[in-house]
């Protein structure tokens, strides 16, 4: 059976409100959660960007949900620090935490003042970071001199079983590459053919573990409201790589999003006031073979979404 969770968007919602939302989500039948890990939002209209790792400790304590986070080790975060964070949450909340690792976006990473490497260099750096994290979680003392430098690091607090390290991908090429090191795959909603190809690329390359999907959606009692929410909050997020990887600031995202239409937003967000339409979209994703589906309502008021989907959408999916 597919597990249905909620996505917690730190770049859109203050952390206290987001905590209240995941507590409510569990109460209304959501089975799991995942969250973003940004230093800045995608738009000034979103207007938030809390520190995910502080929030995760509170969220895991306040609920019985499993939680994941999408993280980019190697530039803004040293992988030894991420290993320590993963190890601590894994030790405190056994079996309930996972991390999805990706190569990052410049809008978050430029804060270090370092150069933004080419994609192939970022992927090589990520692979080195994964090796560091796995080795530390296994109890090894780690020294590395490569794209990532580590000097005699050792984790003294570790869980009995290391949390899963899942690969984050938006292309079939990256999905196949993740199969070589990841404990699962997470991607975002796309046309059916693209999602089928993503799963096939990962599995055909030997990928193991769960395949997970984050679904961007906008729901409101009326169609006009659902469209207004999606256009206001997500029009800066319609741009495909490499644009979304390489822009530096919120102001740049706002400029390129000025003339985006609701039709363009619909290409990346499931927008409808019709709950049955959302049920059918989600059933279609589950039929492709996704083990976990995380619902991301792109609005900033999550409670009506949580209450309505908990009462009418989740029961229809089970």
Beta carbons within 8 Å of 120's beta carbon, 6+ residues apart: none
Q: Please tell me the distance from the alpha carbon of residue 112 to that of residue 260, in angstroms, as a whole number.
A: 31
Distance between CA 55 and CA 62 in Å, rounded? 10
User: Measured between alpha carbons, how far is 72 from 129 in angstroms, rounded to an integer?
Assistant: 9
Nearest to 202 by CA among 223, 226, 181, 221: 181
Closest C-alpha among 277, 269, 275 to residue 299: 269
C-alpha–C-alpha distance, residues 4 and 200, integer Å: 22
Cα–Cα distance for residue pair 160/90, rounded to 1 Å: 8
- Residue of 180, 114, 105 lying closest to 148 (CA atoms): 114
Of 38, 216, 296, 297, catalytic: 38
Tokens of 290: 């996704």
Residue 76 CA to residue 201 CA, distance in Å, equals 29
Q: Which residues share a beta bridge with 77?
A: 73
Backbone angles phi, psi at 137, to 5 degrees: -65, -25
Asked whether 49 and 40 are in contact (CB, 8 A), the reply is: yes
105 is catalytic: yes
Measured at the alpha carbon of residue 30, what is the angle toward residues 313 and 51, in degrees to the nearest 5? 125
Alpha-carbon span 214 to 280, nearest angstrom = 16
* Selected catalytic residue, list 105, 109, 123, 128: 105
Pairing label, strands 149-153, 211-218: unpaired
- Identify whether 38 is a catalytic site residue: yes
Instruction: Kindly state the tokens that stand for 306.
Output: 């949580």
Q: What is the CA radius of gyration of the chain?
A: 19
Q: Which residues are catalytic?
A: 38, 105
């Amino acid at each position: 059976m597919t597990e249905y969770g909620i996505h917690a968007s730190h770049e859109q919602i203050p952390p206290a409100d987001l905590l209240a939302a995941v507590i409510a989500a569990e109460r209304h039948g959501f089975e799991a959660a995942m969250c973003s890990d940004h230093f800045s939002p995608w738009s000034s209209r979103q207007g938030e960007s809390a520190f995910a790792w502080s929030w995760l400790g509170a969220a895991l304590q306040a609920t019985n949900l499993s939680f994941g986070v999408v993280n980019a080790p190697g530039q803004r975060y040293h992988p030894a620090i991420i290993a320590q964070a993963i190890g601590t949450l894994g030790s405190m909340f056994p079996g309930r935490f996972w991390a999805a690792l990706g190569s990052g976006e410049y809008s978050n990473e430029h804060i270090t003042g370092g150069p933004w490497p080419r994609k192939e260099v970022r992927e090589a750096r990520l692979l080195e970071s994964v090796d560091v994290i796995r080795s530390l979680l296994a109890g090894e003392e780690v020294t590395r001199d490569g794209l990532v430098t580590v000097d005699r690091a050792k984790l003294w607090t570790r869980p009995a079983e290391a949390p899963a390290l899942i690969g984050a991908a938006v292309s079939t090429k990256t999905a196949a590459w993740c199969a070589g090191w990841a404990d699962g795959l997470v991607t975002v909603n796309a046309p059916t053919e693209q999602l089928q190809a993503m799963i096939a690329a990962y599995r055909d390359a030997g990928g193991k573990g769960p395949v997970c999907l984050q679904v961007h959606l906008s729901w409101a009692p009326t169609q006009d409201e659902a469209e207004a929410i999606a256009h206001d909050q997500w029009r800066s997020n319609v741009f495909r790589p490499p644009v979304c990887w390489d822009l530096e600031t919120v102001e740049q995202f706002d400029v390129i999003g000025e003339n985006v239409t609701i039709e363009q937003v619909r290409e990346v967000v499931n927008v409808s006031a019709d709950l049955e339409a959302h049920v059918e979209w989600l059933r279609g994703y589950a039929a492709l073979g996704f083990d976990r589906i995380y619902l991301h309502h792109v609005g900033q008021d999550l409670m009506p979404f949580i209450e309505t989907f908990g009462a009418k959408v989740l029961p229809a999916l089970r």
